[in-house]
Amino acid sequence: MKINNVKVIVTNPGRNYVTVKIETDQGIYGVGDATLNGRELAVAKTIEEYLAPIIIGKNPDNIEHIWQYIYRGAYWRGGPVFMTALAGIDMALWDIKGKKAGLPVYSLLGGKCRDKALCYTHVSGQSFKEVKDNALKKIDEGYKALRVQVSIPGLDGTYGTVEDDAKELPFVEKWDSKPYLNTIPQLFEYLKSEIDDDIHLIHDSHERLTISEAVKLAKRLEKYDLLFLEDLLKPENKDGFNFIKNNSAMPLAMGELFNSRWDAVKLITEKLIDYIRCDVSHIGGITEAKKIAHLAETFQVKTAWHGPADISPIAHMANLHLDFSTPNFGIQELAEFPKEVAEVFTGQPEFEDGYLKISDKPGLGCDIDEEKAAKYSYQKAYLPVAERLDGSVHDW
Ligand code: GCO
Ligand code: MG
């Protein structure tokens, strides 16, 4: 079997998605997600100009070799654009391998370790009451784990509480650590008496804190028994996690801004986090994710792969195949897609009573309808930026 064509499909059914479709001389094709929110066309161009030409003619069965050839062969390696391009190709190759074998990808990864995968979704609100009401709705739908975010008084557009993808220029959020550090513990104190103890709660700090602020937040939230506190520090500041771990018993998660296993090594091997939550679409795909998961297993770190709506259902299916075949799986993030997404992508993780199910369809179990995709053309969209009250730049 040989790769004879590589297509890049950019579509916007409610938001932008980039899909790689790899076709073979035997009629089997595979699809992969190569969406990098706000930088979609940079990835599309990387695949079309640089990666497609060098894999045409290769045997798609040799995924590891093709991965190494792309990653190391380019000399210039890594970074979000390149690793997302590589991820799209990698996922499509796993899809082909599964279809060729007549097996779901989880089977090729070692088979099922579980019958269902625990998942969490997002709830937010402008007030504590609104967060609680939204949480109770999700609990009614069956969710057993929720990520909760609330607007911070005095700060416009707090992360996780607004529709934030601006079209022409980035949307600007305000940031100040003090009101944030005061408000979040109050939110959990309020939720404690409103939400059943059995529901797992998560909060995402979105890489905005200094080390001391992170310790303060972790200590203040310790008594609320969170499943984990996510992304306290910038991805550059891995040493800072030593200090947090030595000063608090809070379970920590990190990884959505990582681009490879090398970013994750220190946090895993020094047991500085409890959950590794890289994005399968931004770390070079299933091939790299399984290596990270195996490393994490040795150090009793669980997986919680990134699962926002800004990566396509193909990536969500890739997450699921990893979740089912990974012994040290922890939890899967599941965000709601714009409704048009289901027209373009067939096959999404199926939710039932707080868990995700997986089918035994060969490959990844997700496809793209190219005609429908063509109805929704790309629209430029930026991620927001954050600024402090004095107008200086902060991490979003
Ligand atoms: C999460 C993430 C997302 C990111 C988004 C950026 O935990 O799901 O923080 O909400 O902000 O993926 O593109
Ligand atoms: Mg996050």
Task: Tell which atom from ligand 1 comes closest to the C-alpha of 306.
Answer: 8
Q: pLDDT for 95-151, tens place per residue?
A: 999 999 999 999 999 999 999 999 999 999 999 999 999 999 999 999 999 999 999
Indicate if 143 belongs to the active site: no
Would the pLDDT of 166 be above 80?
Answer: no
Q: Which percentage of the chain shows pLDDT scores above 70? A: 99
Residues pairing with 159 in the sheet: none
Ligand 1 atom, smallest distance to 307 CA: 8
| pLDDT at 193 (0 to 100) | 94
For residue 163, give the amino acid letter. E
pLDDT for 297 equals: 98
User: How is the chain split among helix, strand and coil, in percent rounded to 5?
Assistant: 40, 20, 40
Ligand 2 centroid, distance to 205 Cα (angstroms)? 8
Which pLDDT score is estimated for 157?
82
Q: Is the CB of 205 under 6 A from ligand 1?
A: no
> In this predicted model, what pLDDT tens digit does every residue of 307-333 receive, in sequence order?
999 999 999 999 999 999 999 999 999
Give the angle subtended at the CA of 287 by the CAs of 286 and 291, to the nearest 5°: 105
pLDDT at 146: 98
Cα 296 to Cα 97: distance, rounded to the nearest angstrom = 25
pTM over 0.85: yes
206 CB within 6 A, ligand 1? yes
- 200 is a catalytic site residue: no
**What is the structure's pLDDT at 161?**
87
The residue-averaged pLDDT of 241-256 equals 97
- Cβ contact 362:99 at 8 Å: yes
Residue pair 108/98 in contact by the 8 Å Cβ criterion:
yes
Nearest-5° angle of CA 112, CA 116, CA 122?
A: 130
* pLDDT over threshold 80, residue 163: no
CB of 333 shorter than 6 A to ligand 1: yes
Atom of ligand 1 nearest to the CA of 206: 9
Spacing, Cα 120 to ligand 1 middle (Å) = 13
Q: 201 is written with which tokens? A: 């709660």
pLDDT at 168: 77
Write down the pLDDT at residue 205: 98
CB atoms within 5 A of ion ligand 2 belong to: 204
- Residue 308 Cβ contacting ligand 1 at under 6 Å: yes
Structure tokens at 351: 């939710």
